[in-house]
């Protein structure tokens, strides 16, 4: 695995005004086929021009958990998809960004005229209210929640779903989400993968 990170991974991918772009961020420690499935479902259901697979330097909510080197997580992510519309990037590391809310502000202010939507697996929705400035995130960009095993029903009881219940967009209108004024979110059903980074790490330690 590479020990250094290429300069293009430390820059935001190029976009044009009028594009619809998904932001799919996480520690990806390690990345796996479940992540790739979420990315592909989001691309199709939301009719995105691009999806940015954003490998973060670290997750503040997972402090103390040992992570693979960033360069290795980037390289592993690259092996999981050949879709040219999926852009593997780690621009947060090049901009000293720590929190998702700051990253979204950074991206939206530098790309006027581009419609961004935040993408996450349903398993992350349970703790979304613990994220720094989570309400601000929901009011800045639309959010697409992609079905994950064991999270199909639990998402309804999440604080985010309850707080923004009136802003939910029907799944049948998911293709319009990126162009919808936030707060707006939807839950997208589809094929699910039982893979998880936690299970992979546990298996590697055993």
Q: What is the pLDDT of residues 22-45, one digit of tens each?
A: 999 999 999 999 999 999 999 999
CA 30 to mean position of chain CA atoms: 14
pLDDT range class, residue 198, cuts 50, 70, 90: very low
Q: What is the pLDDT of residue 65?
A: 59
> pTM score > 0.75 for this model?
yes
Q: What is the pLDDT of residues 49-82, one digit of tens each?
A: 999 999 999 766 555 457 899 999 999 999 999 9
Mean pLDDT, the chain, as a whole number? 87
């Amino acid at each position: 695995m590479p020990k250094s990170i290429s300069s293009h991974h430390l820059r935001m991918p190029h976009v044009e005004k009028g594009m619809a772009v998904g932001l799919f961020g996480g520690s990806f420690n390690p990345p796996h086929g479940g992540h790739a499935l979420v990315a592909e479902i989001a691309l199709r259901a939301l009719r995105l021009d691009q999806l940015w697979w954003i490998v973060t330097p670290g997750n503040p909510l997972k402090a103390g958990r040992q992570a693979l080197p960033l360069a290795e997580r980037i390289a592993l992510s690259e092996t999981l998809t050949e879709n040219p519309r999926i852009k593997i990037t780690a621009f947060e590391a090049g901009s000293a960004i720590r929190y998702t809310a700051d990253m979204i502000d950074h991206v939206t202010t530098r790309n006027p005229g581009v419609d961004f939507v935040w993408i996450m697996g349903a398993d992350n929705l349970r703790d979304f209210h613990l994220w720094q400035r989570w309400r601000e995130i929901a009011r800045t960009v639309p959010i697409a929640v992609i079905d994950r095993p064991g999270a199909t029903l639990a998402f309804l009881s999440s604080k985010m779903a309850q707080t923004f219940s009136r802003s939910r967009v029907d799944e049948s209108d998911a293709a319009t989400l990126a162009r919808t004024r936030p707060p707006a979110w939807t839950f997208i059903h589809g094929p699910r993968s039982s893979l998880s980074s936690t299970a992979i790490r546990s298996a590697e330690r055993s």
